[in-house]
């Protein structure tokens, strides 16, 4: 082996000395740095991208930069430590209104809602009167504000005054629900899977909320967020990131065996939670996006801005121009 290697090196050196062209070396793929939380479904998708080589197949070298939380990811993007993160377009719109050049390409639909204990006696929204309702994300959480608008529309009452809101972190809310201390929870969808596996049932889903508010179709709330300048400077790299992302989604929609490989990083405690996570994740995959979805997002912004006020949207009265990246096309 050593002799063969020496012969090859010698042959290359002789060719160079004779003025012969050397074999072309493949150019390195452009690096795309993505900031992502160490937990949650985004890291599942990126794991599939790297394991299957979908980044290289779409012309990029994906580098995953783990962050401690949502705020840490935003700081990394603002500071230039990463090229893209996954967050909501409300944040993008507020940043653009302040002069920043962030923009949004859809990643997934929010599929959460209110889940109630099986024997809570809660069969309709009005039954939440005087009952504790756990809410993740705080008083200006988008799902909570939309549900308040839904209650105003369907009951003529603000849910904030009808129920007794309990704001807490997602794991604590599930602990309180599973231990019988609160009968109803509005949590992030990954935590809904745990409740569903334990026998909790959906009371109101976000699709139902959007329909009642006259917003159709339901817009995606989460997306890839990056700077306009990155899209202009590295258009092929950006399209490679989006194409790899959607290729991973397609694989996860169609290949159950792939989920078995992901199971260790999903931290599902049992088969029921694992199955619920897979089912709810698949329900959130985007199958269409265009002008109608953007118009629906604008309508959603107006509803949420009315209830959330400056604490959520600053002093905007409408979605900032350029919030949605005009170059996005859903891969076919």
The answer to whether the Cα torsion of 166, 220, 324, 83 is positive or negative is: positive
Confidence of residue 313 (pLDDT cuts 50, 70, 90): confident
Task: Residue 238: name the closest of 30, 28, 26 by CA.
Answer: 30
101 and 233 fall within a common domain? yes
123 and 196 fall within a common domain? yes
8 A C-beta contact, residue 246 and residue 330: yes
Higher pLDDT, 20 or 113: 113
pTM to 2 decimal places: 0.87
Total number of domains in the chain: 2
- Residue 85 pairs in a beta bridge with 35, 225
CATH of the domain at 303: 3.40.190.10
In a domain, 165, yes or no: yes
96 and 146 fall within a common domain? no
In a domain, 80, yes or no: yes
131 and 200 fall within a common domain? yes
In a domain, 157, yes or no: yes
In a domain, 324, yes or no: no
Token pair belonging to 11: 């042959």
Does the pLDDT at position 4 exceed 60? Answer: no
Structure confidence by residue, pLDDT tens digits, 133-145 = 999 988 999 999 9
Structure confidence by residue, pLDDT tens digits, 210-266 = 999 999 999 999 999 999 999 999 999 999 999 999 999 999 999 999 999 999 999
In a domain, 48, yes or no: yes
In a domain, 261, yes or no: yes
59 and 138 fall within a common domain? no
Are β-strands 113-116 and 184-187 bridged in parallel, bridged antiparallel, or unpaired? antiparallel
In a domain, 303, yes or no: yes
Q: Looking at residue 26, what is its pLDDT?
A: 67
163 and 182 fall within a common domain? yes
Q: Note down the domain range covering 45.
A: 31-109+219-313
Last residue of a domain, one of 178, 212, 246: 212
């Amino acid at each position: 082996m050593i002799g063969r290697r020496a012969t090859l090196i010698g042959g290359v050196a002789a060719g160079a000395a004779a003025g012969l062209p050397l074999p072309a070396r493949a150019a390195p793929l452009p690096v795309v740095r993505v900031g992502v939380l160490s937990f949650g479904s985004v890291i599942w998708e990126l794991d599939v991208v790297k394991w299957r080589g979908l980044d290289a197949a779409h012309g990029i070298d994906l580098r995953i930069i783990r962050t401690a939380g949502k705020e840490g990811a935003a700081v990394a993007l603002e500071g230039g430590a990463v090229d893209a993160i996954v967050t909501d377009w409300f944040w993008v719109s507020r940043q653009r209104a302040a002069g920043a050049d962030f923009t949004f390409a859809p990643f997934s639909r929010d599929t959460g809602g209110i889940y109630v204990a099986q024997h809570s006696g809660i069969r309709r929204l009005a039954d939440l009167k005087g009952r504790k309702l756990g809410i993740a994300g705080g008083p200006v959480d988008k799902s909570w504000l939309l549900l308040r608008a839904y209650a105003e529309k369907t009951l003529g009452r603000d849910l904030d005054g009808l129920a007794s809101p309990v704001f807490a972190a997602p794991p604590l809310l599930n602990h309180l629900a599973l231990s019988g201390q609160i009968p109803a929870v509005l949590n992030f969808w990954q935590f809904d899977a745990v409740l569903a596996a334990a026998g909790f049932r959906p009371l109101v889903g976000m699709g139902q909320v959007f329909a009642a508010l006259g917003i159709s179709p339901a817009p995606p709330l989460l997306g890839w967020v990056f700077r306009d300048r990155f899209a202009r400077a590295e258009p092929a790299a950006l399209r490679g990131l989006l194409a790899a992302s959607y290729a991973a989604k397609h694989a996860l929609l169609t290949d159950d065996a792939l989920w078995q490989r992901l199971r260790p990083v999903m931290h599902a405690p049992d088969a029921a939670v694992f199955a619920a996570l897979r089912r709810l994740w698949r329900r959130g995959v985007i199958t269409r996006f265009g002008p109608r979805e953007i118009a629906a997002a604008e309508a959603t912004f107006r509803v949420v801005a009315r209830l959330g006020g400056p604490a959520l949207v600053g002093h905007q009265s409408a979605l900032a121009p350029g919030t949605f990246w005009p170059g996005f096309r859903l891969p076919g």
